[in-house]
């Protein structure tokens, strides 16, 4: 048995089969490259679903973590620690907001946003108790908890997990008239991904996000943007909402906020919104821990320079230009996305998204399929143009070899 086979066999036997990973066993990684247990190198064109925006082992992030490991890693929120205030200040400033509520995973941040919107609805807006409604979009992906999958339209994510949490209405993504019709006097929030990642990197029609902003403001409803995958540089701006000059009431952040080192997520908003909490009403043992804050502070510092947003914009233009050349050909039916982020729909004759991902893997490129016929391309923003071109050349090979 090879080291790869041994590792996969152990995972197959002892881990729940809630994922279907590509058959590669990564041992080390640096920048945009990963090395497997046999010493083979792969270009990472997925970046941990955007959790690795700054690449593997970013020196500043690893140093920030190491330094903090030697100081203090966890206090719980029973006590203050010396990185917490600093982190909240820096994140609030980055977002142009007033308050931060830190959690760990993306799903926890979305849950926190849902709770926050309901509490704001009852305490500030004056919605009658138990009546709060949150409007969401179809094909959304906001995480895996019981409440979040209650408003998913993906049967795979949802089936067998009922009874489902009530209080959500689902409307078609990108359809402003449908959203307007769904918002009523009990609506406390509209929760949306500014670009739908898991759905296949779906960019809504131009004018949709500004329309949502106008509507929510007119109706005294919170606009909550789930920027967990789209945010923090991926699209060429700090937030995907910025492309349409939209500032939501609530940012929901995760993934890259932890620099690919530790899970860090947060809800960021105004004092009117996050000020609804009193001690004991919400929390997390690990949320805002010193290690998380130290790494996230460095992430925020890196984002402040704008360097990676600029890289994502420039390399993203190049990526979309190159992918555009494939579109309409025999292998690719559509390409969507923004910045260093693309969903590529593979023509039926060429193979499934999974098959294309496996063929790319055999040529040293790692991507991930979604929804059968789509592959998602989201390399770390640190990728060099040469490496990106090398990866795209492998994609061309795979698509033309059939
Ligand atoms: C937009 C969005 N929201 C929420 C989540 C859930 O994040 P996590 O897997 O950290 O719970 C994801 C994960 O892919 C996501 O893409």
Domain of 43: which CATH number?
3.90.1150.10
Cis ω before 163 (30° cut-off from 0): yes
Annotated catalytic residues are 141, 226, 255
What pLDDT is attached to residue 239? 98
Residues enclosing ligand 1, CB less than 6 A?
Answer: 49, 105-107, 110, 141-143, 193, 197-198, 226, 228-229, 254
Distance separating alpha carbons of residues 137 and 197, to the nearest angstrom:
13
Domains contained in the chain, number = 2
Give me the average pLDDT of each 10-residue run along the chain (402 residues).
96 96 98 98 98 98 98 96 98 98 98 98 98 98 98 97 98 98 98 97 98 98 98 98 98 98 98 98 98 98 98 98 93 97 95 96 96 95 98 96 62
What pLDDT is attached to residue 371? 86
What pLDDT is attached to residue 402? 47
Same domain, 32 and 97: no
Question: Do residues 149 and 107 make contact, with C-beta atoms less than 8 angstroms apart?
Answer: no
Q: What is the DSSP string of 339-352?
A: SS-EEEEEPTTT--
CATH number at residue 183: 3.40.640.10
Q: H or E element: which one contains 98?
A: none
Q: Which domain holds residue 394?
A: 3-57+313-401
Question: Do residues 224 and 249 make contact, with C-beta atoms less than 8 angstroms apart?
Answer: yes
Report yes or no on 66 lying in a domain. Answer: no
368-370 β-sheet, strand order: 332-337, 342-346, 374-377, 368-370
Closest C-alpha residue for ligand 1 atom 7: 106
Instruction: Give the residue, out of 46, 48, 102, 106, with the most ligand 1 atoms within 8 A of its beta carbon, to mutate for a pocket test.
Output: 106
Same domain, 278 and 341: no
Distance in Å, CA 330 to ligand 1 centroid: 33
Distance separating alpha carbons of residues 113 and 251, to the nearest angstrom:
9
Same domain, 372 and 342: yes
Report yes or no on 62 lying in a domain. Answer: no
Closest C-alpha residue for ligand 1 atom 8: 106
Closest approach atom of ligand 1 to CA 143:
6
Same domain, 237 and 262: yes
What pLDDT is attached to residue 214? 98
Report yes or no on 63 lying in a domain. Answer: no
Same domain, 188 and 298: yes
Instruction: Give the residue, out of 102, 103, 107, 370, with the most ligand 1 atoms within 8 A of its beta carbon, to mutate for a pocket test.
Output: 107
Same domain, 188 and 263: yes
Same domain, 371 and 236: no
Distance in Å, CA 141 to ligand 1 centroid: 7
Distance separating alpha carbons of residues 389 and 319, to the nearest angstrom:
8
Terminal CA-CA length for the chain: 31
Answer with the one of 248, 273, 304 that is the final residue of a domain: 304
Distance in Å, CA 382 to ligand 1 centroid: 22
Same domain, 168 and 135: yes
Distance separating alpha carbons of residues 69 and 329, to the nearest angstrom:
52
Distance in Å, CA 128 to ligand 1 centroid: 31
DSSP lists the bridge partners of residue 375 as 344, 369
Q: What is the DSSP string of 190-240?
A: EEE-SSBTTTTSBPPPTTHHHHHHHHHHHTT-EEEEE-TTTTTTTTSSSSG
Report yes or no on 342 lying in a domain. Answer: yes
Closest approach atom of ligand 1 to CA 198:
16
Same domain, 223 and 135: yes
What pLDDT is attached to residue 289? 98
User: 26-30 and 365-366: which strand pairing?
Assistant: unpaired
Report yes or no on 64 lying in a domain. Answer: no
**Which residues of 104-213 form beta strands (DSSP E)?**
133-137, 168-171, 187-192
Report yes or no on 65 lying in a domain. Answer: no
Which tokens hold the place of 230? 């789209």
Distance separating alpha carbons of residues 221 and 53, to the nearest angstrom:
32
Same domain, 288 and 321: no
Which residue in this structure is represented by tokens 């946003």?
113
Which tokens hold the place of 235? 């699209």
Distance in Å, CA 107 to ligand 1 centroid: 6
Q: H or E element: which one contains 332?
A: strand 332-337
Report yes or no on 225 lying in a domain. Answer: yes
Question: Do residues 127 and 186 make contact, with C-beta atoms less than 8 angstroms apart?
Answer: yes
Answer with the one of 304, 322, 342 that is the final residue of a domain: 304
Same domain, 160 and 276: yes
pTM over 0.95: yes
Distance separating alpha carbons of residues 337 and 342, to the nearest angstrom:
4
Which tokens hold the place of 302? 């890196």
Closest approach atom of ligand 1 to CA 108:
11
Answer with the one of 251, 276, 304 that is the final residue of a domain: 304
Closest approach atom of ligand 1 to CA 263:
10
Closest approach atom of ligand 1 to CA 144:
11
Q: H or E element: which one contains 9?
A: helix 3-14
Report yes or no on 111 lying in a domain. Answer: yes
Distance in Å, CA 72 to ligand 1 centroid: 28
Same domain, 180 and 266: yes
What pLDDT is attached to residue 188? 99
Instruction: Give the residue, out of 194, 229, 253, with the most ligand 1 atoms within 8 A of its beta carbon, to mutate for a pocket test.
Output: 229
Quick check: helix, strand or coil at residue 265?
A: strand
Which tokens hold the place of 289? 């821990």
């Amino acid at each position: 048995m090879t080291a790869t086979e041994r590792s996969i066999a152990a995972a197959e036997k002892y881990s729940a089969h809630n994922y279907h990973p590509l058959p590669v066993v990564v041992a080390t990684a640096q920048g945009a490259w990963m090395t497997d247990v046999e010493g083979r190198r792969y270009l990472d064109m997925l970046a941990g679903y955007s959790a690795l925006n700054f690449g593997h082992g970013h020196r500043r992030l690893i140093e920030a973590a190491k330094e903090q490991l030697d100081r203090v890693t966890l206090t719980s929120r029973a006590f203050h620690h010396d990185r917490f205030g600093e982190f909240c200040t820096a994140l609030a400033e980055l977002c142009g907001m007033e308050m931060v509520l830190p959690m760990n995973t993306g799903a926890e941040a979305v849950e926190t946003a849902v709770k926050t919107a309901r509490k704001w609805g009852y305490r500030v807006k004056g919605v009658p108790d138990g009546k709060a409604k949150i409007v969401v979009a179809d094909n959304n992906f906001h995480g895996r908890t019981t409440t979040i999958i209650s408003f998913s339209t993906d049967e795979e994510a949802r089936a067998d997990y009922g009874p489902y949490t009530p209080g959500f209405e689902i409307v078609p993504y990108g359809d402003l008239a449908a959203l307007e019709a769904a918002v009523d006097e009990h609506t406390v929030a509209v929760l949306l991904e500014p670009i739908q990642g898991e759905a296949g990197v779906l960019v809504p029609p131009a004018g949709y996000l500004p329309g949502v902003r106008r509507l929510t403001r007119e109706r005294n409803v919170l606009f909550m943007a789930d920027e967990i995958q789209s945010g923090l540089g991926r699209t060429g701006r700090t937030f995907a909402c910025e492309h349409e000059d939209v500032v939501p009431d609530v940012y929901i952040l995760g993934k890259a906020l932890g620099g690919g080192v530790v899970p860090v997520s947060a809800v960021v908003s105004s004092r009117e919104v996050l000020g609804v909490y009193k001690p004991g009403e919400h929390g997390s043992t690990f949320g805002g821990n010193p290690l998380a804050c130290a790494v996230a502070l460095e992430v925020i510092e890196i984002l402040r320079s704008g360097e990676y947003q600029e890289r994502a914009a420039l390399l993203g233009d190049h990526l979309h230009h190159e992918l555009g050349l494939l579109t309409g050909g025999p292998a690719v039916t559509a390409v969507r996305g923004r910045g260093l982020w693309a969903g590529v729909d593979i023509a039926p004759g060429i193979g499934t998204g999974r098959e294309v991902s496996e063929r790319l893997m055999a040529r040293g490129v790692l991507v991930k399929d979604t929804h059968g016929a789509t592959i998602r391309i989201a390399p770390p923003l640190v990728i060099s143009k040469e490496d990106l071109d090398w990866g795209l050349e492998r994609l061309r090979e795979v698509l033309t070899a059939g």
